[in-house]
Chains A and B, each alone.
Chain A
Amino acid sequence: MELEIKREKLVLRVGTQKYEWHIEPRYWRNPFIYVGILILVPIAVYFLYPQWLPTVIDANLLAAIAIPLGWMTIGTGRMNFGPQFYIGVGGFTAALCSINLGWPPFVTLLMAILAGLIFGLLMSPLSIIAGGLYYTLLTLLFPLVFLEITFIYTDLFKGDTGLFGIAQMVNVGHFTVNQFLICLMSLFMMLLYMFIVDKIMRSKFAASMAAINDDEEVAEAMGVNVKKIKIISFTIPAVMIAVIGWFYAHYYGTFSGVTYLPLAFMVKVLLVSMIGGRVQIYGNVIGGYFIVILELFLSSVLGEYSQVVFPIILLILLLTLPEGLFGLYRKRRYREYLPTLHVRR
């Protein structure tokens, strides 16, 4: 077995097999370096400021929601304004299975995936039938209606108080070590999602999604199976987001519709996307950390007024940064696959 490090390649020879990996020579574009930094963050925070571990977890999770949302946006050609609906689906499934049936976290994970799959498939035809703006509107309304359902069937969903008593994901006895392990898990999920979506965005799948975004009809005339791509691009990100809902349920031990379903949470996720530079995947990570740190800073400095000042600052940022924070760095590349919303019929 022989490992050779050439200038741009890592070559591994085992017997008669040869494996090659391309290493990005420009260090500022090398993903391993950033992944290394991201892994160092929780370790550093654990040893230096353990009270900030929840902040890091939140940042990772917000980014992990925004990443599949970016895929969904590009793939279906419309903006989904209600991703928190799937957080509700995943979270409530996990919470109800854990409390009422007593199942351990990894079994509820499977249930959450199943629930996400079912609801994603049920709603994916909307991306085909409904025109751009109608789709956006309906996705906006679904979480609000879900919230109302949690209040209507309050004995099941405990709409007023929220469900509590959900099993913890890991429990080694020590609170801070728990937090640290959960932080690593959240980081792992975010990196996993990033890897999946990045590979998809660099594949031929992305070419068809770009074509669909530009002109659906012509794409279909060129042989692209538009319906299949839309359904896949809707359902799989929906499942990914539902898993994050599962994570929230088992991490906090409580889950309540009012935390995740109203518009305030959605705006946060949307801003993670926008401030991070829309659907730039790596930008979502920066957006996530930025928003969480901003919120933490504001609430520690301004106290009660942070509820009012936070959206004001976000509005200012939205209007002043043309392409989000990441746009300040990124050179203007010409491949923008983003759909535009028009009030058409």
Chain B
Amino acid sequence: MFETIEITLIYTFLLGSLYLLVSLGFSLICGVLRIFHLGYAYIFVATIYLTWMFFHTLNLPLWPSILLMVVLQAAIAIGLYYGIIAKYLKQEEKIITGLLLVAIIANAAANKWYPIQSAVNLPTTIIDGTLNVGSTTVPIQMVLAAITGIVVTALFVLFFLKTKTGLAARAISYDINSAKMMGIQVEQLYMFIMVIVVIPVIIAMLMIAPVLAVNPDMGWGYMTTAILVSVMGGLGNIRGTIIASYIIGFAHSFVSFPLGEPRLMNLAALIVVIIMLIVRPQGIAKTESLW
């Protein structure tokens, strides 16, 4: 029984940190841009498959592929912002459906050109092998991913607390109209946020691609987790998102190890979130803002 507790806790930490990376961007967009980025799933698919395209099909070395992919993703994010979001900021259904369509297009494109059979496999392992923690073995890559997750989140928090741009973002999340009146350039900040939220996902995906499976439909699963974490943590609140990621990580580990039914993972997370919403509808967050 002691091992079960141990493995549950370890995976709570690992999964929670991973989900933190995955959900941070979604929560930020909800908090600052106040829209629902239902197309978030495309980022996961685009990271893996664009890198694979540069690396395998165009035969470029690994690091230039990654760099190109980042540049392309930034361009796509900017394009999405100007094309869809900026035009329809008041008509949320259009934004949501439009972004969802983008995710579907990405999914369909990945399915068409790199279906599951093409054995996409990114050699982004930093340290190979496994680690023995107590009586459980975990891939070192996952531990590294978890640590990176915490570091990246800490960097983001520092950014929002200490820099001027971060301050502006926080102001927007409190009250957009007053922020505009204070001379904050909202459009540029929106665009900036759209671009930087891509980064945690890229890091997460590149680090765990060797460990967890890769397939064209992977975006939806991660987006579901991001949605659940953000809803529970209070949309747009980083503190709440951090707490919620670990709670959901715990829910997933609990269902996988002590209960031994990993198929129930998403259902368990959903039930936890629903209970949370009934008990405290505004989520874990105490304030309505970013921090």
- Whether A and B touch directly in their complex, counting CB atoms under 8 A apart, is answered as yes
Q: Which residues of A contact B (CB under 8 A)?
A: 79, 81, 129-131, 133-134, 136-138, 140-142, 144-145, 148-149, 151-152, 262-264, 267, 270-271, 274, 278, 304-305, 307-308, 310-312, 314-315, 318-319, 340-343, 345
Q: Which of B92, B100, B102, B228 interacts with A263 by CB under 8 Å?
A: B100
B282 within 8 Å of A (CB atoms): yes
By CB atoms of chain B within 10 A, which of A149, A305, A318 has the most? A318
**A-chain residues with CB within 8 Å of residue B277 when the two chains form the complex:** 129-130, 134, 138
B270 within 8 Å of A (CB atoms): yes
Tell me the bound Cα distance from A315 to B83 in angstroms: 11
Q: Which of B35, B36, B104 interacts with A267 by CB under 8 Å?
A: B104
**A-chain residues with CB within 8 Å of residue B211 when the two chains form the complex:** none
Q: Given the known A-B contacts A130-B277, A144-B220, A315-B105, are A305 and B100 also in contact in the complex, defined by CB atoms under 8 Å?
A: no
Q: Which of B31, B36, B98, B111 interacts with A133 by CB under 8 Å?
A: B36
Tell me the bound Cα distance from A148 to B264 in angstroms: 8
**B-chain residues with CB within 8 Å of residue A318 when the two chains form the complex:** 94, 97-98, 101
In the complex, are the beta carbons of B104 and A345 less than 8 A apart? no
In the complex, are the beta carbons of A267 and B281 less than 8 A apart? no
Tell me the bound Cα distance from A129 to B227 in angstroms: 18
Closest-CB distance, A287 to chain B (whole angstroms): 13
- B contact face: mostly helix, strand, loop, or mixed: helix
Q: Which residues of B contact A (CB under 8 A)?
A: 30-31, 34-36, 38, 83-84, 87-88, 90-94, 96-98, 100-102, 104-105, 108-109, 111-112, 220, 224, 227-228, 231, 234-236, 261, 263-264, 266-267, 270, 273-274, 277-278, 281-283, 288
In the complex, are the beta carbons of B97 and A343 less than 8 A apart? no
Tell me the bound Cα distance from A318 to B283 in angstroms: 33
**B-chain residues with CB within 8 Å of residue A314 when the two chains form the complex:** 101
In the complex, are the beta carbons of B104 and A311 less than 8 A apart? yes
In the complex, are the beta carbons of B93 and A79 less than 8 A apart? yes
Q: 7 interchain pairs (CB within 8 A)?
A: A137-B36, A267-B100, A274-B93, A274-B94, A315-B102, A319-B83, A345-B235
In the complex, are the beta carbons of A308 and B109 less than 8 A apart? yes
Q: Which of A137, A149, A270 interacts with B227 by CB under 8 Å?
A: A137
In the complex, are the beta carbons of B270 and A343 less than 8 A apart? no
